[in-house]
Amino acid sequence: MRRASLLLLILALASATNAAPEERPSGKLRLALTGTIKTLDPAKVDSDGAARACVANLFDQLYEYHHLKRPYELKPCLAEALPEVSEDGLVQTIKLKRGIRFVDDICFPGIKGREVVAADVVFCLLRLMDAQIESPGRWLLEKKIVGLDEFTAASRKATKDPRRSAYLASEGFPAVPGIEAIDTHTLRFHLLEPWPELPWVLAGHWLSIYAPESVKQYGARLGEHAVGTGPYKVTLFSNNRTLLLQRNPNYRDEQYPSEGKPRDKANGYLASAGLALPLHDQVEIKTYEDPQSTWAAFQQGLCDCAEIARDAIGTAIHPVTGAHADWVKERKITIHRDPRLEFFYDAFNMEDPVIGKPAGEKGLAIRRAICLAANDDWAMRRLYMYHSERVYGPLLPEFDGYDDDFKNDWLPADGEAREDLVEAAKEVLKEAGIEDPAKDIPILKMTITDDTGARMVFDRYKAQLAEIGIRIESVAVTWKAMQAILREKKAQLWTSSWMADYPHAQNFLMLLYSRNSPEPNYANYANAEFDELYEQARPLGPGQERTDLFGEMQRIAMDDCPWRCRFRRIRWAASHQWLSGYRHNDIVPKYWKYCRPDEAKRTGAVDNWK
C-alpha cells in the first residue's frame, strides 16, 4: 500500500510538471508600431503613438479595463477594489493589493524589487503635476484635488532636479492634503467637488505607477528605463526603434478572463480562460516610420497583429461592402473593426463678434447655416476610405445618455438632398435679416494646420459655403501655433478633434462647460442652462437621472451650434491565424499580456507563403 501511494504521488507530481507549460504558455509576441518610442517615462509620454502603448503595457495603474467587456468596464489592478466614496462624494479611499513588487533593478538594494506602497502612488501623482516635468497629462488632475493646484504653482519656482524622488517642504513644495497615504496600503483623495470619474482617470497611462528610486537612479535618462510592476521587464531599448521585453518573474498571480459575451466564446476570445498571464515569455517591438511600413511588416509575417494603414485598407477590405480580400481569406487572417471613441468637429469661437454669442441671432444663424451647408462626404470617402461614421453630437453610442432617436436639426440627415440643404441654410440666414451674405457677413477666417490634407478639405469647405454666399479664407499654421491661438481665444473658426480619455459622456460634455474655457473648452461656449445641468450631473453615478441630464445637455448645446459635428474614424486592424486573444482597447492599449502566439503555427504558416 505504501509503495502504491508513493507511486501515485510520483505520477501526480509528474502530471503537475507536465501541465505547467500549458498553464503558463511560452513563445514570443512580435509587434509592429508606427512612430518612435521617444520615452518610457509615464509622466512625459504623448497621448498617442508607440510610446503610449509601451508605457500602458510595461506599467500598472490603480485600475485597468476588462480585456473583453464592451461597453468598457473597469477592474482593480494595483487597487484592491473600487474606491469607497463618502456620502458627500468629496472623499474617496482606495486600498492597495499587498505583495505586488516592482521589477528587479539596480535602483534597489540588492537589485531586488520591493513591494509597492501607497507613498509610491502619491509620488507618481505629484510628479505628474510637477510643472517642471511638463507632462501632457497634467490637465487630468487640475482643479480636482485639494491642494494639488497650489503644489503645481509652487513647483514652477523650485530648483530643477531630474533626480528628485521626493517632494520636500525644505525645497519649497507645500503639502498636498488632497492625496494622503493613510498607511502603507491605503490612499485617500480629498476632492474639490464630487468626481465619480476618478477611477477612470486612474486607469490612464499617465497615471502609471513606477518606483521613486528609479527617478533618483536614472534622472534625465528615466525614459530609457521602466521600473514598474507590469508583466514585463526591458532587456533592450535601442535607438527608440526596438524594444525587447522579458516576462517579469515578480509579476503577480493573474489569469486570462473567463467571462465575456456569447460571441466572445464563438470568436475564440475565451480559449485561454484561466491561464496565467502573460501568455508568452518575450515581446519584440519594432517601430516603423509610417503606417504603410507597419502594414507591410504584417503582410510579411514580421509581426503578429497590426493596424491597417489608412491608404491600404482597400487592399484588405472592400471599401463599401467590407468583404475581405482573397489573400486575407487564404491566410486565415482575422480583421478587427473598432469605431474610435473620438469625434471630429468644426468649432466656432463663441466670443467672436461675427459668429459668436455677441452677434446674437445673426451669429446663431451663421453657425446654423454653415452646419447645414458644409459636407464631409469627400473627406470621409477620400481621406478615410469610407471607414468613418457620422457623429451628430458629443454622446457616442458607447456612452451613457446616448439616444438612437436624437436628431440634430442643424446637420444633414441621411439621404437629404444637397439642394434642399443649401436652400434651408439660405432661409436660416434670411430669417435673421441676412439678405445678402456676401455683403452682410465679413470674410470669415478658418484656422487650419499647414498640411496638404487640411488644405484639400478647406478648399471643398470654401466652395460649399460659397453656395450660400458666405466667404471664407484659411489661415494655415503649425499645430503648436494653433494651440497657442486657441488658448488666446484668437481663432474664429477651426477644425478639431477629441479622443476620449475615458469612456464616459462627461469627458466630451466637459468641452462645453463654461468654467473650462479656454482649455479644453476652446469654443468658449457658455450657456447657463447647460452649465446648471452639467453641475447637477457631475456628482451622479450611472442611472436614469444622469442619462436624462446628459441627453438634455446635448440637445441644448447642439441647438446653439458651438460645433459642427462631423464624424469619427473606424480603426481596422488584422491579426494572423497563429495569434489568439488580441483585442484592441481604444482608451488604453493595454492588451499585450492577453495575446497568445503559437510559434509552431507561425513558422508553418509563413513557410507556406513562400
The grid cell for 546 is 444622469
Average pLDDT, the chain: 92
Q: Same structural domain for residues 54 and 68?
A: no
CATH number at residue 67: 3.40.190.10
* Cα gap 430→424, rounded to integer Å: 10
Q: Of 52, 123, 61, 134, whose CA–CA distance to 94 is shortest?
A: 61
Q: Same structural domain for residues 523 and 398?
A: yes
Summarize pLDDT for 90-148 with one digit per residue, the tens.
999 999 999 999 999 999 999 999 999 999 999 999 999 999 999 999 999 999 999 99
> Is pLDDT above 60 for 15?
no
Q: What is the pLDDT of residue 24?
A: 67
Q: Same structural domain for residues 411 and 498?
A: yes
Contact 418, 375 (CB under 8 A): yes
Q: Same structural domain for residues 159 and 71?
A: yes
The grid cell for 420 is 434642399
> Is pLDDT above 90 for 362?
yes
The grid cell for 17 is 510538471
Q: Same structural domain for residues 160 and 215?
A: yes
Summarize pLDDT for 514-543 with one digit per residue, the tens.
999 998 999 999 999 999 999 999 888 888
Q: Same structural domain for residues 528 and 585?
A: no
Q: Of 579, 573, 610, whose CA–CA distance to 295 is shortest?
A: 573
Summarize pLDDT for 174-232 with one digit per residue, the tens.
999 999 999 999 999 999 999 999 999 999 999 999 999 999 999 999 999 999 999 99
Q: Same structural domain for residues 311 and 415?
A: no
> Domain of 367?
342-569
Quick check: is 89 in a domain?
yes
CATH number at residue 402: 3.10.105.10
* Cα gap 183→80, rounded to integer Å: 14
Quick check: is 13 in a domain?
no
The grid cell for 24 is 503558463
Quick check: is 5 in a domain?
no
**Would you put residue 131 in left (φ > 0), alpha (ψ -120 to 50) or beta?**
alpha
Quote the DSSP letter at residue 79.
B
Quote the DSSP letter at residue 380.
I
Q: What is the pLDDT of residue 127?
A: 98
Establish whether the linkage from the previous residue to 520 is cis, with ω within 30° of 0: yes
Q: Where are the beta strands (DSSP E) in 138-269?
A: 179-183, 186-190, 232-238, 242-247
Q: Same structural domain for residues 463 and 420?
A: yes
State which of 165, 198, 222 marks the end of a domain.
Answer: 222
* Cα gap 525→358, rounded to integer Å: 12
Summarize pLDDT for 239-287 with one digit per residue, the tens.
888 999 999 999 999 999 998 888 888 888 999 999 999 999 999 999 9
Q: Same structural domain for residues 108 and 201?
A: yes
* Cα gap 387→312, rounded to integer Å: 12
* Cα gap 150→128, rounded to integer Å: 14
**What pTM was computed for the model?**
0.87
**Would you put residue 198 in left (φ > 0), alpha (ψ -120 to 50) or beta?**
alpha
Summarize pLDDT for 420-456 with one digit per residue, the tens.
999 999 999 999 999 999 999 999 999 999 999 899 9
Backbone dihedral angles phi then psi of residue 92, each to the nearest 5 degrees: -125, 130
Q: Where are the beta strands (DSSP E) in 490-554?
A: 493-499
pLDDT band at 6, cuts 50/70/90? very low
Residue 514 C-alpha from the chain's centroid: 24
* Cα gap 317→328, rounded to integer Å: 9
Quick check: is 15 in a domain?
no
The grid cell for 218 is 536614472
Helix, strand, coil distribution of the chain in percent, nearest 5: 35, 20, 45
Lowest mean pLDDT among 63-67, 68-72, 185-189: 68-72
Using a 10 angstrom Cβ sphere, with 0-12 exposed, 13-18 middle and 19 or more buried, the burial of residue 570 is middle
Residues 6+ apart with CB under 8 A from 565: 343, 345, 391, 392, 393, 394, 408, 411, 558
* Cα gap 503→57, rounded to integer Å: 19
Quick check: is 519 in a domain?
yes
pLDDT band at 391, cuts 50/70/90? very high
Quick check: is 189 in a domain?
yes
Contacts for 258-266: CB closer than 8 Å, 24+ residues apart = 259/68, 260/68, 260/69, 261/68, 261/69, 261/70, 264/68
Q: What is the spatial order of strands in the sheet that 186-190 belongs to?
A: 84-85, 91-95, 186-190, 179-183
Q: Same structural domain for residues 112 and 82?
A: yes
Residues 6+ apart with CB under 8 A from 166: 123, 212
State which of 222, 242, 260 marks the end of a domain.
Answer: 222
Quick check: is 327 in a domain?
yes
Q: Same structural domain for residues 556 and 588?
A: no
Residue whose C-alpha cell reads 474664429 in the numeric block:
492
For 265-329, the three-class secondary structure string (H helix, E strand, C coil) is: HHCCCCCCCCCECCCCCEEEEEEECCHHHHHHHHHCCCCCEEECCHHHHHHHECCCCCCECHHHH
How many domains would you assign to the chain?
A: 3
Q: Same structural domain for residues 46 and 71?
A: no
* Cα gap 572→596, rounded to integer Å: 20
* Cα gap 312→235, rounded to integer Å: 33
Residues 6+ apart with CB under 8 A from 60: 77, 78, 100, 208, 209, 228, 229, 230
Quick check: is 16 in a domain?
no
pLDDT band at 324, cuts 50/70/90? very high
